[in-house]
Amino acid sequence: MTSLTLPAAPVRDILERAFAEDAPSGDITSQLLIPAEARATAVLNARVPGVFSGGTVFRDAMKLVDPDTDVELLIADGETFDAGTHLARVSGSARSVLLAERVALNLVQRMCAIATKTAEFVERAGGTKARITDTRKTTPGLRVLERYAVRCGGGANHRYSLSDAVLAKDNHLAVMTGGDPARLTTLLAAAKAQLGHTTHFEVEVDSAEQIEPVLAAGVDTIMLDNFTIEELRAGVKQVDGRAIVEASGNVNLGTVAEIAAAGVDVISIGGLTHSVAALDLGLDVELRAG
C-alpha cells in the first residue's frame, strides 16, 4: 500500500476553518445545558462495514478544541472493519467533546466512505496491472484529506493540482490546433521540448485516430477517454508499450473489471471523491457528573 501519512499543517488549517464555521462563538447549546465540570466518554462506532481513514483527523479535531481530551484510536487507517466495531474512544470535558463532535464526524465519515469505495474498485480490478486512481474532482478545501482516503483504500493519486504535471485535454487540443488535427504532433512535441525532464506529459484522446499523432510527440501517458471495451483493447495494442495507457470515463463498479482486463495501466475515477455518501458512523456519548 502507498504511504499513509497526512501533513499536519494543512490538516490543522482545515480543522481551524471548520470550527470557525461551525462554532464561531462557541457552542451555546452545551454552554447553556451542560455543567462546566461535566465529563464525557464517547465511542466512535461503525454502523456499517468499511475501510478506516481519518483516525488522526478525528483525534486532532477533538484535541484542537481541548488539548486535554484523551483520544484512543482502536483501528489503523487502511484497516477494514465490520458493523459494530469500535473505532476510537474519547474522554474529556463534555462540552469539548460535544463541540468537536460534528466536525470530527463529518470528516471521518467522508474519509471512510472514500476509502471504502476505493477498496471496492481495487478489489474488482484485482488480478490485473491496472492502478485505480482519483482525479481532481474533489471537495474544494478537502483535497488533501480525500486523496489520503483514496490511498487508505488501496488506490493511488493522480496529479495533485494543475501545477504538478501537464495533462492536455480535449479543450486544450482544440484551442492549440485551431481545429487542424494535422498540427497535433508538431505542437505537442514543441510543447514537450519546453518542459524539464522531470515533468510528466499526459494527453487525453477521444478517438483512435488521435493515438498515433499523440504518441509521435513522445508523450509519457495517453488517456483513452470514454472508449468502449473493444476500443480500449485495440488502443492498448496500438500503443504497444510506447506510453502509459490510462482509461477514463464510464467507469463504475460494473465496468471496472472489464476495463482493467483490457490491459490499461491506470484507471482514473472521479466518483471516488465527487459523489460518495458519508459512511454511517456514530459517536455514542455517555455523560457523567463531575
Q: Report, as residue numbers or ranges, the catalytic residues.
A: 102, 137, 169, 204, 225
Which residues sit opposite 282 in a β-bridge?
45
Nearby residues of 230 by Cβ (< 8 Å), 6 or more positions away: none
| DSSP type of residue 129 | S
C-alpha grid cell, residue 13: 488549517
Helix/strand number for the chain, H first, E second = 11, 12
C-alpha grid cell, residue 166: 501537464
Alpha-helix residue ranges (DSSP H) falling in 41-182: 55-65, 94-124, 143-152, 170-177
Q: Which residue has 473489471 as its cell numbers?
A: 257
Rounded Cα distance, 31 and 153, in Å: 39
Amino acid at 120: E
Three-state secondary-structure class, residue 33: helix
